[in-house]
Structure formats: C-alpha cells, structure tokens
C-alpha cells in the first residue's frame, strides 16, 4: 500500500502527485480500549464469548476459501457465502474468526471430504469490540481432520474507503454511475467476508462474483467461465489463487474499459479505468510491463500469476494497493494525460506502479508475520522503487528524489514520540498508525545504507535468498538479517567484493572489513531502536575524533543509552575516494594519512545519520560551498543544508551560520540542494505568518526571492528540459508568483487571461500551470472560473492544480466553502478533503478555519477516515504543526485530551504537540537573531 502523503508545494519537496494522496485504511472503529484483553467478554446476546484476546487463536488453520459474492449496485447491499476449509491442531469446539458489520444468517460445519461429508449446524456468537465471531460446534473438532465451515451472510456496501465499498463517477454527459471495489489492507477483508483476517493465516481463494450483464467483474485471478444463473444475473468464476493473506484479496464490479499487453514471459498486463479516461492508460501500461520484466529478472523468481491488472478507482483514499494480480490506484496515481499531466505526475505514477509491483514479491510472495514488521513490506517496496526505476526509466533520475525521503523520515524520527521501525502493535488504531514515514521512508533509507555497506551485489544475493527461502510464507525481522548474514558469514571467509573478509588492511579506513560482518547485530540497532545518531567530528591534526549520540529535538542529544553500528563514509580535500569506517562504540579515533582542509562525512547521504563538525569544520565546508560547491556531490550539498538546520534546532550551530551556508544557493543548479534549501527556509516564514510578525516576515520573504531571483528569472515558461529541471521550474515559478514577485505575477496574469478567454481550451505549458492558476485564483472571477473548469476536467493533474490554486485564495468565505464542499463530496470528492484541509491550514488567511473545521467535525472525520489512519495524521499535523505560541499549544492540548479514547492517544497528536513545543523554543531562541541577520550588509550583495 502506498500512503503517498505526498506534500503540497511551498514548503515542500517534490509535489509528486500534487494531490496529497493519503491512505485510508480499515474498519469503522469502535472505541478500542487501552487493554486488548478483557476478563470475560460477553457476546452480543449476553452469552460468554469463548475468546478474550484481540489476536486469533493459532490452533485453527484455514487452508482454502470458496467465496461467492453477489452485490446489488442499486440497493448498495451484498450477500455472500464463504466456505472455509480448516484443520485443527488441538481439539476445540469453538472456531474463532473475524467478521465486521456482516449479518450472518446461517453457519454449518461439514466434516470430511468428498461425497461422504456430514453436516451440522454451528451456533454463532458475535463479539463486535474485537470484530470477532465464534462458531460453536456440538462436539470438539478432531485434530488434523479436514473440515469445511460454510457461512451465509449479508452486508451493506461501505460508505468509507475500505472493506467492500461504493464508488461513483460522473460521465462526460453528467450521468452518475456506481461501482463497487475493495480495499482490505490492513484489517478490512472481514468487512466483505468472515475470515481469519491476520497476515499469517495464508490460504488459497476461489472467488465467484454475481453481477448484472452490463457490468464487468475482475478479481486477483483470470476469469475461467461465466454462468447465467437467472435472467439478468451472471456468475463469474475466477481461477484459484496461490496461497496468500486475506488483505490481498480483491474484486471490482464496474463498467470499466481496459487496454492490455504481454510481458516477455507471457504475463498479461491490463489497465482498467472508467471509459472516459481509457486514453490516459497507456503510460502506466507500458511502465508496468517494463517494471514487471525488471523485477522477474532482478529477483530471479518468475511472477507467479498469469496476469497483472492495474485498476484506477474513482474514490480511493490511499495512493495505491498491491492486491496480488489486481493492484488498485487512485486515478491520479495511474492515469497520465499526455496533454496536461506534469513532469512530477509522470515521475509519481512510475514510482507508485513500481512500488505496487515490487510488493508482488515483497509483501505478497513473502509477507510479514504481523503488522509490527510492516516495514518488511513497505520499506522494501519503497526502496525498490528507486532500484527499479533508476534502471527502467533512467531519464526520470529517481536518485535525485530518494534522499528527501530520508530527510522526511528524520523529521518525525527526531521526536520523542517516534517509534522503532519494528514495534509491537495490537489494536486496529495502532496497526493503522504503522503506515507512516518510519515504516516506509526510514525502512527504505536503512536498506539503502545496508546496500551501500554490503555492496549492491551482496545485498541483491541476500534478498534473493530471503525471497526464495520464504516464498508463500511469513517472516519476522530477523529472518531477513539471517538471509543477509549467510551472504557474509561471520567466520571471516572471503565473500563478494572482499566485503566480508577478515584480512587486515593497512588503512584504518578499511576498518569495517577487519572483522566478520554481523549484519543482524548491526541492523537491529537501526530497527529495534527509535531515532538516529548524530556523529560529532573533531579534527586534531591527522586525528579525527568521532562521537555518536542519540539526536532528539527539544533536548538536543539525550542519554538514552542507544548505540548504533554506524557505517561511516568520508571524503576529504585531499582525496575524493570514499573511505569507510564502522563506528560501533560511543567514541573512536581514526588517523588520516595527512592533514586536510576539510572532511565531509556521510558521502552521498547514504547513511541514516547526521554529522556535526566541531571547531571550524562548518566554516571550512561553508567556504567550500561558496567557493567551488561542485567539489562535492549534489546529495552531499543537500545533506549539509539539512544537517546544518537540524543542528540549529538543538543549539549546536548558530542560526546565522546555517543561513550563511544557504547563500551559496544563488549559484546552485541541481534540484536536490535547491529543494532542500527551500524546505528549510520556507517553513521559517510559515511560522511567522501565524504570529503577526509582519515586518520580519516580509523581510525574510524578500530575502528568499532575492536569493533565488537569478534562478527564477532564467526559467523559460515552457515544458523543456529534464524531469528534474521541469519540477524545479514548476516550484520556483509557483514560489515567485505566490510571493508576488512582479515579473512572475504579470506573466502568469497574461497567461491566465488568455486561458480564460479561450474558455480553458488553450494549452498551457504544464510546468507553469500551477503558478498561472494560483495567480488566477486571487480574483473572485478567476476563482469561480477555475471551479467551473474543475467540474468538467478529466485530467487528474489539472484537477489537482486547480484544487491547490483554489486553496490559495485570500478570501475566507471561499476557503470555508471549499472545506464544506470537499467534505460533503458531491463535486469535489471526499478523498481530496485531507489535502484541501492541509493546504488551507498552510494559508495565512485560512489556517484558523482549517483548525476550527477539524475540531468541529472530528467525530465525522474519524468515522470516514478512521482512527489511526495516515489520513487522520495528515490532517492533524497539517492544521496544527506550524503553530508556535503557548496559547495555541494549550488549545491543541486541550482539544485532543478532551477526545479521550477517540483520539487523545494517537501518535500524531503526540507528534504535533512536540512539534509546536519545538517551534516555540525555536522562535524564542532564533527570531531576534534572524531579524538582525537580515539587516546584514552582505545580503545587499544578493
């Protein structure tokens, strides 16, 4: 699954799909108590319920499901029959499984196999707090004997974005059509059929769907046959699946159209979409074929199914979902309009498709045993996006967009409320909270660090071994490290690239090759501890002293007793060949062959740590950037910018020095450092905007435009250049126009006028459209015209650009209207609401409205988007985390503590409170210094 809380422009790095494609998961949540076990639960009818744990017992094993579903898209209801073949590993007369919001009419137990089955009724008890049912047999089940449980049930199509839910779309002619689709990860298969809904209960599935002749049904496997059951009713039979987890089952009943191609190995790949958008399916289809072929080759394991469908769903809260053989997507994550889609949209679609296809191996073939190790699915799929796309689509230069993911992860991982990559979870809200930057981005970044450490070949051998060994099984954290360790044995024998050798090398820089590589011990320090280390480097002649500490916002570094095994890399003014050193202790010293003018650690930003240079270390690096910044790579430049501002936060570096460092950006040309500079500087004035600090805020905005003016002025208003150049152009012009830089505003006004006069039919360069719309939305007529165009647009990119522009209005009434409309979901779909709320929460005129809306509609939001979901986290952070006054802090604390079990315990609440406290400290300490720095004469030279 991909949450894609892709951030919106301004104060953001790549605006990959423009929409904040969030993820919305799971069940309508009862109030999950803090304890998962009750002493003696009572079923709905008052009878004692025979099981008191949130997790299912392990002694009943499902082997196979026969599932028949009949949905009525007019009454929005469905009925079904599930026959589950089970075996018992110990005698029991209670079969416990999951069911949520389903009305069970009948349950029977068939004993034995073939013709000689006996059948007896089962008593059904329900325990809604745990979403469980108990089926009580008249006598205990015999161990190892085949049984089949048959359950007849009915339910309503869900009005949320998970389970078996309703989606609608409007045709070009204005007709509203209904379809039904599924989203089961993590715990919503139980909303569509009674099942053992935990990832370790893998089974095969035979699915039959009943539908009207005018509809089409698709599922994980190819269609085998269609049978007419009655007039106007057809039953589609799909082939039996491979052994898989319940959360990967999928089926869609719709009137979609499709386009198809075959891969070299004979897998049929198809893209399904609403008929009016089928002409936007070709790009994703070609990308999917290329990527599927890449993965088959890279993993040395053939894709095990005969087909792979990619379906664009009109209502979809996540970015995408990896259901085996039928991946589902938000329309903006799959459909590419050659006329109107932006460069960032092309990059985004390619990455999302590669993520979901990587899951066909990581996640589907080999699945984490329980949600505490979700990162084994998601960190890997996120990492493989970059491994695959850098080979299949080199022109997209994905390597330029990897490390901002690590910076994003560090942002939350530096808070006390962070969590280890692998962390215990039990109840639904906790499970949903795992779908966050730590599981995805940090997971990917530490895998990248491990690959850099072991070598690409050794790493690849390890993951192939892992996938082959655990195919169709479930794994824990240590299974991965054991597979890696067997590539690098600890007995000191030679391995690939000499990386695992025990031979002594003369240079201290080969420090980590001097002993056997203990991958498991090393990686446990990165997955079982939260946070990351700050390495302090002090150079004394040829001696380089290194010290590691746990970096944490607020307290700076704290003595948690955490130690990491840090694979340090460095280059110096005398040598640009990468030197390596494994730091396992709190302090260590390495000796250079000769004295150097500067030393730069964490080469290429491959390590998940930050570096502080004591004494004049920072001054020499700042001098290097201002003199010959190309002496180090663009990734190294971006990581220096990031580290400098991280160090300001804990008082290790004065704000003036960090700001001085950014002055070199006047001469920067690469996207990574440019975006990183904007990501550090823009949030500074965003804090001021919410504090009536007009004078300094205005000066700071003027400084930023002066710093970037040469870059802005030289942008052509076209779609020329590489993807990175185009994305940089889009962001620079948007920033310039929103900051009212007149040459930009006048040009955008001219374009908007022409576009409006042509009734929106003039083709604008895609890279400048965002800036043009943002300027156009500032007048009432322009805003109304954009909204009118929004209603008829078939392009996801264009709709997202218009949506963003509408949110930048300085008119409070229009902003309030937008919040109300997108929440209602008639014209602007509710899936867009989290992004709209957040963007208005970033608007100096709108942020009060957004915060108020969140408070007044909290219960409805939780009902629609689910407690613990990334969508809720995105909205909480988006409306509150730029506050920086004590009054606002008390307001936020007061509101969330009043929610009790309906939100006060959420991790995102702890994160936003910590962030506001950090903002207060930061402003108290740095605001006056910024004011004085802005008056410095060297800025006059900009």
pLDDT of 14 reads 35
pLDDT on residue 24: 28
User: What is d(CA 867, CA 877) in angstroms, rounded to the nearest whole number?
Assistant: 14
Task: Give the integer Cα–Cα distance in Å for 883 and 890.
Answer: 11
d(CA 17, CA 335): 11
Cα–Cα distance list, 729 to 102, 138, 344, 767, 796 (Å)? 52, 71, 11, 7, 20
Work out the percent of the chain whose per-residue pLDDT is above 90: 86
Count of CB atoms situated within 10 Å of the CB of 399: 15
| 864 has a pLDDT exceeding 60 | yes
Nearest to 568 by CA among 551, 588, 552, 598: 588
Residues 340-357 pLDDT 10s: 988 899 999 999 999 999
Is the distance from CB of 203 to CB of 63 less than 8 angstroms? yes
Contact predicate 568/546, CB 8 Å: yes
* pLDDT band (50, 70, 90) for residue 30: very low
Contact assessment for residue 773 and residue 805, using Cβ atoms and an 8 Å cutoff: yes
**Residue partners of 663: CB distance under 8 A and separation at least 6:** 626, 707, 938, 942
What is the tens place of the pLDDT at every residue in 520-548?
999 999 999 999 999 999 999 999 999 99
Beta-strand runs (E) in 55-100: 60-72, 77-88, 94-98
Query: What is the tens place of the pLDDT at every residue in 547-597?
Result: 999 999 976 666 788 999 999 999 999 999 999 999 999 999 999 999 999
Q: Which two tokens stand for residue 195?
A: 């099942």
Residue 28's pLDDT band (cuts 50, 70, 90): very low
**How does the average pLDDT of the chain come out, rounded?**
91
Structure tokens belonging to residue 738: 């929103």
Residue 936: what pLDDT?
83
Catalytic residue among 85, 198, 356, 680: 356
Q: Is the pLDDT of residue 433 over 70?
A: yes
Task: Say if residues 187 and 199 touch (Cβ distance below 8 Å).
Answer: no
Distance CA 847, CA 391 (A): 42
SS3 content of the chain, % helix, strand, coil (to 5): 45, 20, 35
pLDDT-derived band at 11, boundaries 50, 70, 90: very low
pTM of the model: 0.93
pLDDT of residue 34: 37
Give the pLDDT score at 559: 75
Q: What is the pLDDT of residues 894-908, one digit of tens each?
A: 999 999 888 999 999
State residue 41's pLDDT score.
87
Residue 516 gets the label, from left (phi > 0), alpha (psi -120 to 50) or beta, of beta
Predicted pLDDT at 516:
60
| For residue 453, pLDDT beyond 90 | yes
Measure the N-to-C terminal CA separation of the chain; round to a whole number of Å: 45
The answer to whether 497 touches 528, Cβ cutoff 8 Å, is no
The SS3 call for residue 365 is coil
Residue 554's pLDDT is what?
79
Q: Is 235 designated active site?
A: no
Torsion region of 253: left, alpha or beta (phi above 0 gives left; psi -120 to 50 gives alpha): beta
What is the structure's pLDDT at 546? 97
Per-residue pLDDT tens for 459-469?
A: 999 999 999 99
Is a pLDDT exceeding 80 seen at residue 865?
yes
Pairing of strands 610-613, 533-540: parallel
Report the distance separating Cα 97 and Cα 145, nearest Å: 19
CB neighbours (10 Å) of residue 524? 18
Q: Do the Cβ atoms of 732 and 771 come closer than 8 Å?
A: no
Kindly state the tokens that stand for 777.
């939305």
pLDDT at 129: 95
CA distances from 80 to 68, 71, 218 (A): 5, 8, 17
The mean-pLDDT minimum among 305-319, 492-506, 603-617, 738-752 falls in 492-506
pLDDT exceeds cutoff 90 at 494: no
Which DSSP string do the residues of 726-765 spell out, in sequence order? HHHHHHHHHHHHHTT-HHHHHHHHHHHHHHHHTTT-S---
């Amino acid at each position: 699954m991909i949450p894609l809380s892709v951030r919106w422009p301004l104060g953001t790095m790549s605006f990959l799909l423009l929409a904040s494609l969030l993820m919305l998961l799971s069940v309508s949540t009862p109030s999950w108590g803090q304890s998962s076990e009750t002493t003696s639960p009572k079923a709905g009818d008052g009878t004692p319920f025979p099981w008191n744990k949130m997790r299912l017992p392990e002694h009943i094993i499902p082997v196979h499901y026969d599932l028949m579903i009949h949905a009525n898209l007019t009454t929005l209801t469905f009925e079904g029959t599930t026959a589950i073949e089970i075996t018992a590993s110990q005698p029991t007369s209670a079969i416990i499984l999951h069911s949520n919001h389903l009305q069970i009419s009948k349950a029977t137990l068939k004993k034995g196999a073939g013709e000689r089955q006996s059948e007896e009724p089962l008593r059904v008890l329900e325990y809604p707090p745990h979403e469980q049912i108990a089926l009580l047999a008249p006598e205990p089940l015999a161990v190892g004997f085949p049984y089949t449980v048959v359950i007849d049930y009915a339910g309503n199509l869900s009005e949320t974005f998970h389970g078996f839910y309703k989606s609608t779309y409007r045709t070009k002619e204005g007709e509203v059509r209904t379809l039904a689709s599924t989203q089961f990860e993590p715990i919503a298969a139980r909303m569509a059929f009674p099942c053992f809904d935990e990832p370790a209960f893998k089974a095969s599935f035979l699915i039959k769907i009943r539908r009207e002749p005018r509809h089409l049904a698709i599922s994980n496997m190819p269609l085998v046959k269609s049978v007419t059951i009655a007039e106007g009713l057809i039953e589609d039979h799909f082939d039996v699946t491979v052994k898989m987890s319940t959360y990967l089952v999928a089926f869609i009943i719709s009137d979609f159209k499709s386009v198809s191609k075959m891969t070299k190995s004979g897998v049929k790949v198809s893209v399904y979409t609403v008929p009016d958008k089928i002409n936007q399916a070709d790009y994703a289809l070609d990308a999917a074929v290329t990527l599927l072929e890449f993965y088959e080759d890279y993993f040395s394991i053939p894709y095990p199914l005969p087909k792979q469908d990619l379906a664009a769903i009109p209502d979809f809260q996540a970015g995408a979902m990896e259901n085996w053989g039928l991946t589902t997507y938000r329309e903006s994550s799959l459909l590419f309009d050659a006329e109107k889609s932006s460069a960032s949209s092309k990059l985004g679609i390619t990455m999302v498709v590669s993520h979901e296809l990587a899951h066909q191996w990581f996640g589907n073939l080999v699945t984490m045993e329980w949600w505490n190790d979700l990162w084994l699915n998601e960190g890997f799929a996120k990492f493989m996006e970059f491994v695959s796309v850098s080979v299949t689509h080199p022109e997209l230069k994905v390597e330029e967009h990897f490390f901002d993911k690590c910076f994003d992860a560090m942002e939350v991982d530096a808070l006390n409320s962070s969590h280890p990559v692998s962390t215990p979870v039990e109840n639904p809200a906790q499970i949903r909270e795992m779908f966050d930057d730590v599981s995805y981005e940090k997971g990917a970044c530490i895998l990248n660090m491990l690959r850099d450490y072991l070598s690409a070949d050794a790493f690849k051998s390890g993951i192939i071994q892992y996938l082959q060994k655990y195919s169709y099984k479930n794994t824990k954290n240590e299974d991965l490290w054991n597979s890696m360790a067997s590539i690098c044995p600890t007995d000191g024998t030679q391995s690939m690239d000499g990386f695992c050798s025990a031979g002594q090398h003369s240079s201290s820089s080969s420090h980590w090759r001097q002993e056997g590589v203990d991958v498991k011990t090393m990686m446990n320090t990165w997955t079982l501890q939260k946070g990351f280390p700050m390495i302090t480097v002090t150079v004394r002649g040829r001696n380089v002293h290194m010290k590691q500490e746990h970096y944490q916002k607020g307290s700076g570094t704290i003595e948690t007793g955490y130690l990491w095994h840090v694979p340090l890399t460095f280059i110096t003014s005398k040598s640009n060949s990468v030197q390596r050193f494994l730091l396992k202790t709190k302090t260590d010293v390495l000796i250079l062959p000769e004295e150097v003018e500067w030393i730069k650690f964490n080469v290429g930003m491959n390590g998940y740590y930050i570096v502080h240079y004591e004494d004049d270390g920072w001054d020499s690096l700042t001098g290097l950037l201002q003199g010959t910044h190309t002496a180090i790579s663009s990734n190294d430049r971006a990581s220096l910018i990031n580290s400098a501002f991280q160090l300001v936060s804990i008082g290790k570096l004065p704000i003036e020095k960090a700001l001085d460092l950014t002055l070199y950006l006047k001469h920067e040309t690469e996207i990574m450092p440019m975006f990183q500079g904007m990501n550090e500087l823009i949030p500074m004035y965003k804090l001021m905007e919410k504090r009536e600090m007009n004078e300094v805020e205005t000066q700071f905005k003027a400084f930023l435009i002066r710093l970037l003016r040469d870059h802005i002025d030289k942008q052509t208003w076209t779609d020329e250049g590489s993807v990175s150049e185009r994305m940089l152009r889009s962001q620079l012009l948007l920033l310039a126009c929103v900051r009212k830089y007149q040459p930009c505003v006048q040009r955008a006004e001219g374009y908007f006028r022409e576009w409006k006069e042509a009734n929106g039919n003039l083709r604008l360069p895609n890279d400048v459209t965002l800036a043009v719309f943002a300027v156009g939305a500032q007048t009432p007529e322009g805003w109304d015209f954009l909204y009118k165009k929004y209603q008829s647009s078939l392009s996801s990119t264009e709709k997202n650009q218009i949506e963003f522009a509408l949110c930048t209005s300085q008119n409070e009434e229009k902003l309030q209207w937008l919040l109300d409309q997108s929440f209602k979901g008639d014209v602007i779909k509710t899936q867009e609401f989290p992004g709209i709320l957040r963007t208005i929460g970033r608007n100096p005129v709108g942020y009060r409205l957004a915060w108020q809306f969140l408070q007044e509609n909290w219960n409805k939001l939780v009902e629609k988007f689910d407690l613990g979901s990334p969508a809720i986290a995105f909205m909480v952070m988006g409306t509150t985390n730029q506050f920086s006054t004590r009054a606002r802090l008390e307001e936020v604390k007061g509101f969330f503590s009043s929610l009790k079990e309906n939100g006060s315990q959420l991790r995102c609440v702890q994160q936003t409170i910590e962030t506001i406290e950090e903002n207060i400290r930061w402003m108290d300490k740095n605001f006056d210094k910024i004011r004085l720095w802005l008056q410095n004469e060297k800025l006059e030279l900009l």
